[in-house]
């Protein structure tokens, strides 16, 4: 009976798993030419506190979707300030896929994101403010309603307010009613805002 030849996966992945897996070596392997090696390194770095910087640096140049996905997952597991800052930078990317991946990752980090949420909601770029509201949609944090109320009370961009009022209709309480009525006054000439605010008020009163 002839010998069974190893598959490419046998030659690439298994030896990789037998190599030293100290944090410095794993960080170095993020630059390997093999996507498979980079994926394993990104996954294993979840056990290395302080590795967010290396992961963020790789994320900025990583074009392999499967590797980027693992990097995002590891950053959410680490969840430190460096990881969050890197995700915010990704939200500013011109690449839509990377922006969306970063938004989804941020949704998994309520405690880490909370300290910077007001800054995101006050960002000079209206798209960033909309992205921040999108994060609030799934962010399990007790201040979500408060942040949304502050948006519709203060933001002068109609699209930002429209995004916030839609979400407020789903998560708001009677505490949001005055803010919604003020919003209608501020954007008296905007048909969609009138409709969305009325719908939010109706939903809140029915709950």
What percent of the chain is predicted at pLDDT more than 70? 90
Q: Mind listing the pLDDT tens digit for each residue in 75-128?
A: 999 999 999 999 999 999 999 999 999 999 999 999 999 999 999 999 999 999
**pLDDT, tens digit, 9 for 90 and up, residues 141-198:** 999 999 999 999 999 999 999 999 999 999 999 999 999 999 999 999 999 999 999 9
Asked if 194 and 187 count as a contact pair (C-beta separation under 8 A), the reply is yes
The Cα angle at residue 46 between residues 22 and 83, in degrees rounded to 5: 120
pLDDT of residue 14: 43
What is this structure's pTM?
A: 0.85
- pLDDT at residue 9 is higher than 60: no
Question: Which of 159, 115, 114, 112 is CA-nearest to residue 136?
Answer: 114
Distance CA 118, CA 182 (A): 20
Taking only the tens place, the pLDDT of each residue in 37-81 is: 999 999 999 999 999 999 999 999 999 999 999 999 999 999 999
Structural domains in the chain plus CATH codes: 22-106 (1.25.10.10), 111-207 (1.25.10.10)
Q: What's the pLDDT score for residue 140?
A: 86
Band of residue 20 on the pLDDT scale cut at 50, 70, 90: low
pLDDT value, residue 23 = 95
Helix extents (H) in 79-143: 81-91, 96-106, 110-121, 126-136
**What does the pLDDT look like over 159-170, one tens digit per residue?**
999 999 999 999
CB atoms within 10 A of CB 119: 11
In terms of Cβ atoms closer than 10 Å to its own Cβ (0-12, 13-18, 19+), residue 7 is exposed
Residue of 40, 50, 111, 100 whose CA lies nearest to 75: 50
pLDDT band at 207 (very low <50, low <70, confident <90, very high): confident
CA distance 204 to 200: 6
Structure tokens at 31: 């630059």
């Amino acid at each position: 009976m002839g010998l069974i030849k190893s598959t490419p996966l046998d030659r690439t992945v298994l030896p990789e798993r037998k190599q030293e897996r100290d944090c410095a070596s794993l960080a170095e392997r993020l630059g390997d030419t093999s996507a498979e090696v980079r994926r394993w390194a990104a996954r294993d770095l979840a056990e290395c506190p302080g590795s967010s910087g290396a992961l963020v640096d790789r994320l900025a140049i990583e074009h392999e979707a499967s590797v980027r996905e693992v990097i995002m997952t590891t950053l959410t597991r680490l969840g430190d300030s460096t990881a969050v800052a890197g995700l915010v930078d990704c939200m500013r990317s011109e690449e839509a896929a990377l922006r969306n991946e970063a938004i989804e990752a941020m949704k998994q980090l309520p405690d880490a994101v909370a300290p910077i949420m007001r800054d995101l909601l006050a960002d000079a770029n209206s798209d960033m403010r909309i992205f921040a509201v999108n994060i609030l949609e799934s962010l399990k944090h007790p201040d979500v309603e408060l942040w949304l109320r502050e948006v519709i009370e203060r933001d002068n961009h109609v699209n930002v307010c429209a995004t916030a009022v839609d979400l407020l209709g789903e998560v708001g309480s009677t505490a949001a009613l005055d803010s919604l009525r003020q919003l209608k006054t501020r954007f008296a000439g905007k048909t969609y805002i009138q409709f969305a605010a009325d719908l939010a008020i109706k939903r809140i009163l029915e709950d």
